[in-house]
Amino acid sequence: MQNYASLIVLASFTMALAGCSRHSSTSSTHRVIDLVQSGRDVEFPQGTVLHVAKREGNSLEGIHIHWVADGYTSEITAEKGTIKSGTPENPNFENQISMTLYNSRSVTGPTNVTFWRQEIVLYKPN
């Protein structure tokens, strides 16, 4: 049961950050993917912070995503992943990024889940 609860929390988090398809590809003046650089924190809505230790092209290493929701501190970590602009459904949304994380670990309060592969979409308004 604990695994289902953590998956529900993770799915809710992903849906909340992904936003809806109503976001325009022209609503952002800068591509969010360009903000993701080695060693820098990128802040997203709802206090979500993305940190990547190393980025070379679309390859990521040392990925750490942190946020607080409903009184719980949550984090997702992965040693390796990839990044692309937009969403899986629409790569033209430049104010969003899609990341594929490999062997990621998600911790929310007492819940700890490991994923072989995890898709994360983050949205950053203007």
Closest to 43 in 3D by CA, of 73, 67, 19: 67
Q: How far is CA 112 from CA 9, 44, 81, in A?
A: 11, 23, 19
Where exactly are the structural domains of the chain?
Answer: 2-123
Element (H, E) at 17: helix 2-18
pLDDT exceeds cutoff 50 at 11 = no
Higher pLDDT, residue 93 or 8: 93
Higher pLDDT, residue 96 or 87: 96
Q: What is the pLDDT of residues 97-109, one digit of tens each?
A: 999 999 999 999 8
Q: Given this model, what pLDDT does residue 29 score?
A: 59
Q: What is the rounded average pLDDT for all residues in the chain?
A: 82
pLDDT exceeds cutoff 90 at 126 = no
The one-letter code for the residue type at 58 is: N
Expressed in percent and rounded to 5, the helix, strand and coil fractions of the chain are: 20, 50, 30
Q: How confident is the model at residue 61 (pLDDT cuts 50, 70, 90)?
A: very high
pLDDT over 70 percentage in the chain: 76
